[in-house]
Amino acid sequence: MDKDEALGKLIDLALRRGVEEAEAFYSEAEETPVLFEANRLKQVTARQVAGVALRVVADGRLGAAASSHPQGLDELVEMALESARYGPQAHLQFPPPQGYPDVPTYDPAVPSTTLEEMVRLGEGLIAAVRAEEEGLVCEASVRRTVQEVMGLNSRGGRFRYRRTVFSVGLYGTLVRDTDMLFVGDAKTSCQPIREVMDIVEEVKRQLHWARHTARVRTGELPVVFTPLGVASALMGPLTLAFSGRLVHQGQSPLAHLLGHKAYDPRLTIWDDPTLPYRPASRICDDEGIPSRRLPLVEGGTVCHFLYDLQTAGMAGAQPTGHGYRTPAGQTSISPSCLVVEPGEGSLEEIIASLDEGLVVDQLMGAGQGNVMAGDFSGNVLLGYKIERGEVVGRVKDTVVAGNVHQLLKERVLAIGGRPRWVGGGLLVPPIAFTALSVAAKS
């Protein structure tokens, strides 16, 4: 059976059982990673994943079920009906047919990239990085993915789009007795990546700055987060606070701050799923709400939160197109492409302005602790000491802690001018703070 037809049949089966509304969602992906271990090609993989999810509204209650079994339509309807018996009150209507923006996310050059080309790219990357540091033991991956997403609901709403993703990453380990250094970078796009010199340059910078070891004192210090550092430490707790669900439940520290200046006036953030060829871009979310650019913070003022259908209905807000389907079929709220507006000055210029401080590329364990409140803290996995405007070496056994909301309100030293993509969905410049709590082994 054709997929379109199968989804239609699923909706019919559910409607015939007397449900008020039904929605079927199908996604399939074929991922082909080429994996390198210990500087050598190790494994080629093809991962095919497909699954169907069904949501129904029956007697005013929402039920959901998901299956990856290719012959399970009847079972799926049964499971969704059972779920609806106990399910939450439905506060949504599935969207009717509507137009979607044109968002390019598919490039046929991705599936036609050969394994040989992918291997050459990975080998070239490893060789270029090891030319800088011969002792580096590298893991690398080059992957291409082709996805297809479809949705259909009982109000006639339907969407279908394809996406390609190509990504390249390198992680190197340098071991000197019990001293271990981890460096790396990755990039990803909906189009094939042919050029990896930026990854090589980034890894070289990390190696160069980590060449010597430096000591840091316990206390409060200025801290500069590189774009990688912003991604690893700050974005998780920050974006959580914009979840419409947490706002509605009063759990977000921003719950009562819509329209208020909650941050430094230099801070502007938006979410934009319409950016061409970004892996997090899409014509619509997984519930069929059209994509649009949504400002979250403008000049320090909180201006929107992220909603899916059900949460928007509960909160009396408009859905913003941020319903995201997990592989197990649940709907959750998630940003797409987040963009932090750049300010001025390069990373090096910010560093040059500091007499003493820390640079953070990667915090380990930053997602633990009281994330809901915006707290983060972590062991500096990759970070450096600044003395008299210069990086003097790598710091270790050092913990940095803070509250992202408080820092972005009261302690912004600089938002830098050279943003870069981190992962598939974050475009961010370096961000520096006047003082953070730093604990170090004395």
In the region spanning residues 170 to 229, those forming contacts with other proteins, defined by CB under 8 A, are 173, 175-180, 182, 218
Contact 172, 205 (CB under 8 A): no
Spatial distance between the Cα atoms of 349 and 208, rounded to a whole number of angstroms: 17
Spatial distance between the Cα atoms of 263 and 302, rounded to a whole number of angstroms: 8
Q: What angle do CA 107, 111, 112 make, to 5 degrees?
A: 100
The answer to the question of residue 132 lying near other proteins (CB under 8 A) is: no
* Residue among 182, 126, 153, 136 nearest 22 (CA): 153
Residue 16's Cβ-count burial label (10 Å; 0-12, 13-18, 19+) is: exposed
Stretch that binds other proteins, among 15-23, 123-131, 204-212, 401-409 (CB under 8 A): 401-409
322 or 420: whose CB is closer to other proteins?
322
Rounded to a whole number of angstroms, the minimum distance from the CB of residue 95 to other proteins is 21
Q: Which of 8, 72, 313, 389 binds other proteins (CB under 8 A)?
A: 72
The answer to the question of residue 104 lying near other proteins (CB under 8 A) is: no
The answer to the question of residue 66 lying near other proteins (CB under 8 A) is: yes
Q: Which of 47, 120, 208, 292 binds other proteins (CB under 8 A)?
A: 47
| Residues 258-297: x where in contact with other proteins by CB under 8 A, - otherwise, as a string | ----------------------------------------
Stretch that binds other proteins, among 9-17, 73-81, 92-100, 264-272 (CB under 8 A): 73-81
Contact 339, 420 (CB under 8 A): no
Q: How far apart are the first and last CA of the chain?
A: 67
Rounded to a whole number of angstroms, the minimum distance from the CB of residue 81 to other proteins is 10
Stretch that binds other proteins, among 86-94, 227-235, 291-299, 353-361 (CB under 8 A): 86-94
Rounded to a whole number of angstroms, the minimum distance from the CB of residue 7 to other proteins is 16
Q: How many residues bind other proteins (CB under 8 A)?
A: 79
- Residue 410 backbone class (left: φ over 0; alpha: ψ -120 to 50; beta: rest): alpha
Rounded to a whole number of angstroms, the minimum distance from the CB of residue 261 to other proteins is 15
Rounded to a whole number of angstroms, the minimum distance from the CB of residue 18 to other proteins is 18
* Residue among 217, 231, 214, 243 nearest 308 (CA): 243
DSSP state of 367: T
Strand 338-340 to 426-428 pairing:
parallel
The answer to the question of residue 329 lying near other proteins (CB under 8 A) is: yes
The answer to the question of residue 60 lying near other proteins (CB under 8 A) is: no
Rounded to a whole number of angstroms, the minimum distance from the CB of residue 27 to other proteins is 12
| Cα of 208 vs its chain's centroid, Å | 28
The answer to the question of residue 143 lying near other proteins (CB under 8 A) is: no
Stretch that binds other proteins, among 195-203, 301-309, 323-331, 422-430 (CB under 8 A): 323-331
Buried b (16+ CB within 10 A) or exposed e, 79-100: bbbebbeebeebbbebbeeeee
Q: Which of 267, 314, 351, 426 binds other proteins (CB under 8 A)?
A: 314
Q: Which of 367, 393, 417, 423 binds other proteins (CB under 8 A)?
A: 367
Stretch that binds other proteins, among 151-159, 203-211, 342-350, 364-372 (CB under 8 A): 364-372
Q: Which of 9, 42, 120, 292 binds other proteins (CB under 8 A)?
A: 42
The answer to the question of residue 1 lying near other proteins (CB under 8 A) is: no
Q: Which of 229, 253, 319, 335 binds other proteins (CB under 8 A)?
A: 253
Three-class secondary structure of residue 313 per DSSP: helix
Work out the number of other CB atoms within 10 angstroms of the CB of residue 158: 18
Rounded to a whole number of angstroms, the minimum distance from the CB of residue 313 to other proteins is 12
Sheet holding 420-422, edge to edge: 301-302, 294-298, 269-271, 338-340, 426-428, 420-422
The answer to the question of residue 381 lying near other proteins (CB under 8 A) is: yes
Contact 49, 68 (CB under 8 A): yes
